[in-house]
Structure 1
Amino acid sequence: MTARDWTGHEAARTLRRPTGADDKYSRGVVGLRTGSTRYPGAAVLGVEAAWRTGTGMVRYLGPARAQDLVLQRRPETVTADGRVQAWVIGSGTDAAERDAAETAALRGILSGDVPVVADAGALDLVPAASAPVIVTPHARELAKLRVALGLDAVDAADDDERERVAAETAEALGAVVLSKGAVTIVAAPGGWARRISTGTPWLATAGTGDVLGGVLGAVVAGAAAAGHTALEDLAACAATAAWVHGTAGTAAADRHGRSGGPITALDVAEAVPGVIAGALATG
């Protein structure tokens, strides 16, 4: 089992270029229910990344402190509930600190028809989901999710084993699995699998996963606005978001010279528009 690499050409075919007939709604509306009082920055990073990926509208619902910081950074963000075409949930949250009202709200999202990107503090609710779902766990989160599904908590040592584990998890979950790592692996039920190797070791820094969530939510919202919500469509969105995220990280690091240099999560988000523009120009 060896998945082929996802390329910039494939990413360009998945990304949605706006036309003169589009408005902010037809370009895709993404909702983020992310961040917490303890980790409000996750909300800021995800919202920033979603806007920079080219979505038509971002709705943010979260704690007051996180909401205030989001609006300071991105005042165009809508903080009222309403229709969305994709959700991002869980980034910057801890299931152990989640109250009953938030649990009910997340379960409602996961039982709906709108595609959901689930990360971090929402992963424990995913096994009961009926919505189309993409999970974005790191290795420890993936092991915990597998235990909840009745699978072995495998600590994969190489990328071939990681691919097998991601594919097995996707089948058991009935959802798309984006397994984060130096090489990102995306797997969907039915054997669809791709590898994304566009990143840089400089991406291993706090908040870059929140940026990935925002990019992915925006890509999914654009696809959903065009009616593309089958699991293979969502898998293509996940691979594309990982490609954009990794390429943006490399572009941000390369600003410091040929060997790269330190970056922050916001540096990655700010590099996203250029990466998308380049992909659409050459794809």
Structure 2
Amino acid sequence: MVEVREWTRSDTARFFRVPTPDDDKYARGVVALRTGSPAYPGAAVLGVEAAWRAGAGFVRYVGPTRVADAVLARRPETVAGPDAGGTRPDVWVIGSGTDPGERSDAETVTLREILSGSATVIIDAGALDLAPGTRAPFLVTPHAREFSKLRERLRVPSSEDDRAEGASQVAVKIGGTVLLKGARTLIADPSGAVIAVEAGTGWLATAGTGDVLAGVLGAVTAANPGASLAEVAAAGAWLHGHAARIAAGVLEGAPGHPIVAMDVAEALPSAIADVLA
């Protein structure tokens, strides 16, 4: 049985601070996203929105022109273009809104270059199959079905009755940090240690909120260089859940109401203000 550490609001607060007069946009963190696709452009829009709303100082979108146009229509302050060359982010976010079955050989080469670099990589959805063998510091963010496929690919025995044990085993095998999404989110580091985050609401179970989480994780990681990636991921997951609670109106025991993913992204500044209070 793996020992699980319960994550708290006070734990989260350690990873957020008010910018000082000496900070510039680069000091607040540079996030680059290679996400979305012509079939799922919204994933890129949501991830970019979340990265900005979670406090990133500079956000770059690298992807198809059609998707970049959608990103810029929503967030014109984003630097967007199809070429990853010259991009020197603190953190990459890849895979959200993409299908590995539709990925070109050229795209695979580009993603593998990102995964071989020095910047931390948040690996989501359609890029999870590329995680084994990654040399960059990395965090994978599977939901239950994606986690099952990843576990099978790594030949890690099933731990359906113990999610924490499963997350721990995969993190050790893959040599990276695992964030297993769910009502009780579990984060396991490469040593096998596990953190649990219970900060959300059932209203969070709606399409696109995982894309928002990926952007949040990118921003929080970029703002905390040198920190434990597992702890940073736990802070990002807690913030994401708290933003959902604010958006859904479930604070102080209220039943709340339906929300969409963009509501969660838009509530992130309020969630951060609450953590800083």
Which TM-score bucket, shorter chain as reference? over 0.9
- Answering whether residue 229 of structure 2 is matched by residue 234 of structure 1, we say yes
Counterpart code for 1:253: A
User: Match for residue 31 of structure 2?
Assistant: 30
User: Match for residue 73 of structure 1?
Assistant: 74
User: Match for residue 265 of structure 1?
Assistant: 261
Q: Which moved more, 1:207-216 or 1:60-69?
A: 60-69
Counterpart code for 1:41: G
Alignment size in residue pairs: 271
1:31 is displaced (CA, Å) by 0.3
Deviations 1:226-280 (A, max 9, x none): xx15xxx111111011000111111111179910110000000011111111112
Q: Which moved more, 1:203-212 or 1:12-21?
A: 12-21
Distance 2:121 2:14 in 1: 21
User: Match for residue 248 of structure 2?
Assistant: 253
Given that 2:169 and 2:192 are in contact with CA atoms closer than 8 Å, whether structure 1 keeps it comes out as no
Given that 1:139 and 1:155 are in contact with CA atoms closer than 8 Å, whether structure 2 keeps it comes out as no
User: Match for residue 89 of structure 1?
Assistant: 94
Given that 1:116 and 1:134 are in contact with CA atoms closer than 8 Å, whether structure 2 keeps it comes out as yes
Counterpart code for 2:255: S
Given that 2:159 and 2:166 are in contact with CA atoms closer than 8 Å, whether structure 1 keeps it comes out as no
Distance 2:219 2:138 in 1: 14
Distance 2:159 2:175 in 1: 21
Given that 1:110 and 1:130 are in contact with CA atoms closer than 8 Å, whether structure 2 keeps it comes out as yes
User: Match for residue 178 of structure 1?
Assistant: 179
Given that 2:142 and 2:179 are in contact with CA atoms closer than 8 Å, whether structure 1 keeps it comes out as yes
Q: Which moved more, 1:256-265 or 1:20-29?
A: 256-265
Query: Among residues 97, 100, 103, which one is paired with 2:105 in the alignment?
Result: 100
Counterpart code for 1:175: G
User: Match for residue 214 of structure 2?
Assistant: 213
Q: TM-score, normalised by structure 2?
A: 0.95
Query: Among residues 127, 132, 157, which one is paired with 2:137 in the alignment?
Result: 132
User: Match for residue 156 of structure 1?
Assistant: 160
User: Match for residue 11 of structure 1?
Assistant: 12
- Answering whether residue 127 of structure 2 is matched by residue 122 of structure 1, we say yes
1:155 is displaced (CA, Å) by 6.1
Over 4 Å off, 4+ runs:
none
User: Alignment identity in percent?
Assistant: 56
Deviations 1:158-193 (A, max 9, x none): xxx101100110000110000000100011022321
1:15 is displaced (CA, Å) by 2.3
Given that 2:159 and 2:165 are in contact with CA atoms closer than 8 Å, whether structure 1 keeps it comes out as no
Deviations 1:88-141 (A, max 9, x none): 000000000001111111000001111000011100111021110100001111
- Answering whether residue 146 of structure 2 is matched by residue 145 of structure 1, we say no
Given that 1:127 and 1:148 are in contact with CA atoms closer than 8 Å, whether structure 2 keeps it comes out as no
- Answering whether residue 275 of structure 2 is matched by residue 279 of structure 1, we say yes
Given that 2:95 and 2:126 are in contact with CA atoms closer than 8 Å, whether structure 1 keeps it comes out as yes
Distance 1:66 1:203 in 2: 25
For residue 172 of structure 2, give the secondary structure of its aligned residue in structure 1.
helix
Distance 1:72 1:150 in 2: 43
Gaps of 5+ in 2: none
Given that 1:143 and 1:155 are in contact with CA atoms closer than 8 Å, whether structure 2 keeps it comes out as no
User: Match for residue 244 of structure 1?
Assistant: 239
Q: TM-score, normalised by structure 1?
A: 0.93
1:2 is displaced (CA, Å) by 3.7
Gaps of 5+ in 1: none
- Answering whether residue 115 of structure 2 is matched by residue 110 of structure 1, we say yes
